[in-house]
Each structure stands twice: as structure tokens, then as C-alpha cells.
Structure 1
Amino acid sequence: MSEKRKYKKRYCKYCEAKVDFMDYKEVASLRFSLSERYKIMPRRLTGNCKRHQDMITVVIKRARAAALVPYTVSRKQVVTAPFENLR
């Protein structure tokens, strides 16, 4: 039998902050859930619970539709720090 991998338990930071509503216009708060190519990060990497991950998915899709977040970024246009100018 293989030994189980030991890893640090990830906790949902939105549950700890007791977040009930997320606004799609706050793009700076979405940076923790987006990769450098603006893809939505999965739950296993972010540690979000199912409820908040679903909320984040809806918010990011609304922000994309409103042109606040790009849909895709090609390999040549990848930025090292995509959210630096949003502070």
C-alpha cells in the first residue's frame, strides 16, 4: 500500500471572512481565483468551499462579459503580474 500524501489542509478564506455576496466590479478581489492566464483556479488549489467557488465562477463570468477581465490570454501576451495596475 502506498502511503498517503501529507499536505496542509486548505481553508476557505471567504468562509473565514463570512462573505455572503461578491461583486463582479471588484476585479482586484478576484486575483486570488485567477491564474496568470486569467483562467479560473480550481477548488483543490485555492481551498475554497463549493458554495464560494460557485459564487466566484459566476462573478468571474460576469466580469468577463462586462469586459473587466479578459476571456483568454495568448502565450505571447502573458503578463508576469497581471493585477499590478489595479491597486
Structure 2
Amino acid sequence: MTTENESTPQRRPNSRPRFYSRRKVCQPCVDKKELDYKDVDYLKKFLSDRYMIEARRKSGMCAKCQRSLARAVKKARHLALLPFSPAQRGALPVHYRPRSS
């Protein structure tokens, strides 16, 4: 013998409703912009502060754009348009001065 209270699920008192995050959209697809290795400012949007490529779940990119982003970032790094790590921001230290002859 079951009572009516046992068959219905109980909610905790004062519980908050669940938070559902909005689905992220693929920014290059929305902008209809091609990811190019020469557009360094746009590529920097998808890099972390340590110059690592952000994951798809964090950036919200589709698989196709994520692959083209990885290719563009790697090519820009190879051509020294983007640094590999934060330590490589400048090729020379700030306090460097060339010798005067």
C-alpha cells in the first residue's frame, strides 16, 4: 500500500532552480569570417593568457572552425606573428640596448 506522498518526488525546501547556460555559438561562422593566420588580433581572441588554443567547449566553436583555428595559430606561431608562450612576447628583453660603436 503506497500513499500519494510517496509516489511523487519531493523537492528540497528553499532549493534554487537549476541554471542552464546558453549554448555558445561559433563566432567565425556567425561573423562569416575566414580564419586567417595574418589576422593576429582576431586569433588572439581564441587564445588563453598563456597563449594556448582554447578548447571547443570553452570557445563555442564548431569542429570545422576549431581545426582551421588550430592551423592558423600554428602557422602564425611558425612565422613569429604569435608567441608560443608568454615568455616569448618580445624577442629581446625590454632593458636591451644595442652597443654604440
Runs of 4+ more than 6 Å apart: none
Q: Does 1:60 align with 2:73?
A: yes
From 9, 26, 32, give the equivalent of 1:18. 32
> Quick one: higher RCO (CA 8 Å, sep 6+), 1 or 2?
1
CA drift at 1:22: 2.2
- In structure 1, the residue matched to 2:21 is 7
Structure 1: stretches of 5+ with no match in the other structure: 79-87
Please identify which structure carries the higher helix content: 1
Aligned length, in residue pairs: 73
- Show the counterpart of 1:29: 42
Larger radius of gyration: 2
Q: Deviations over 1:28-79 (max 9, x none)?
A: 01121101111100010110000001000000000000011111225xx89x
Calculate the TM-score normalised by the size of structure 2: 0.63
Residue type at the aligned position of 2:67 = D
